Amino acid sequence: MTLYSNIIGEGKPFIILHGFLGMGDNWKTLAKHFSESDFEVHLVDQRNHGRSFHSNEFDYDLMADDLKRYCEDKKLSDIIVLGHSMGGKTAMLFAAKFPKLVHKLIVADISPRYYPVHHEAILEGLSSLDFSTITSRGEADDALSHYVHETGTRLFLLKNLYWVEKGQLGLRINLKVLRENVSEVGEALPVHATFQKDTLFLRGDRSEYIGEADEAIIHRHFPNSKIISISNAGHWLHAENPKEFYIAVMNFVS
């Protein structure tokens, strides 16, 4: 089974991988900007997310292999790969497993280390949505607000809403499997996984996902890497400061 993608522009292949509970379309605005510099941007939905296939199996090894199959199907090589959060972990492992396919790697606000599970309230809130009674986005937002207090986070999560059929809402994500396998999202990169080519790590200056202690781990796995902080940004650095994020990426890839 091949991953779903939205392809924007023409030129050098540039794959973008979303984070946990996200989808490729979250990156549409930035993708359009990248495509203006002669990049063919592939906004890929990872398994159990967006419009891609649902599966009972979910881990980074599988997601890296999914991406390899996608590249084979689309006949892509010499790729730039950018991944945010969970997508960054997939991108790291993909580059380590299939270095010949990758030209440059960009990782947004995630380190190769292990992260403890911290999505419980979000997953519980999404699981509580009863689509036999919820008939609008507003009602879903109201129900979710009892679990997720930040409006921005709810808006991001509710992008997963869609009309299954007329009058019947549902979620695109495979919530049951993602909830059962949520511990996989925090898994560390395998100890011996390395990638020798140019790598850029971008971190939000207000985020705690990449700290000083992570720098040694990053350079051990990615010896040709540099780490840049994006100002006035937390974990959603590409959305919170898209201009600075865009400039940092373009300086690295051009």
Q: Tell me the C-alpha distance between 247 and 242, whole Å.
A: 9
Q: How confident is the model at residue 79 (pLDDT cuts 50, 70, 90)?
A: very high
- Report which secondary-structure segment, H or E, holds 15: strand 12-17
Instruction: State the catalytic residue, choosing from 84, 221, 235, 238.
Output: 235
What would the two tokens of residue 117 be?
A: 């599970």
Token digits of residue 43? 């906004």
Cα torsion at 229, 28, 18, 148 (round to 10°)? 90
CB 44 within 8 A of CB 81: no
Note the pLDDT tens digit of each residue in 197-223.
999 999 999 999 999 999 999 999 999
Average pLDDT for residues 157-165, to the nearest whole number?
96
SS3 28: helix
Please say whether the beta carbons of 172 and 24 come within 8 A: no
Question: Could you tell me what percent of the chain has a pLDDT over 70?
Answer: 100
Has 85 been annotated as catalytic? yes
**Average of pLDDT values for 4-12?**
98
Known active-site residue 84:
no
The two tokens of residue 171 are: 């979620």
pLDDT category of residue 196 using cuts at 50, 70 and 90: very high
Q: What is the mean pLDDT of residues 11-24?
A: 98
pLDDT in tens, 125-140: 999 999 999 999 999 9
- What average pLDDT does range 27-46 have in this prediction? 98
Q: Which residue has the higher pLDDT, 118 or 56?
A: 56
Closest CA to 237 of 23, 4, 24, 26: 26
Q: Of the listed 85, 111, 207, 225, which one is catalytic?
A: 85
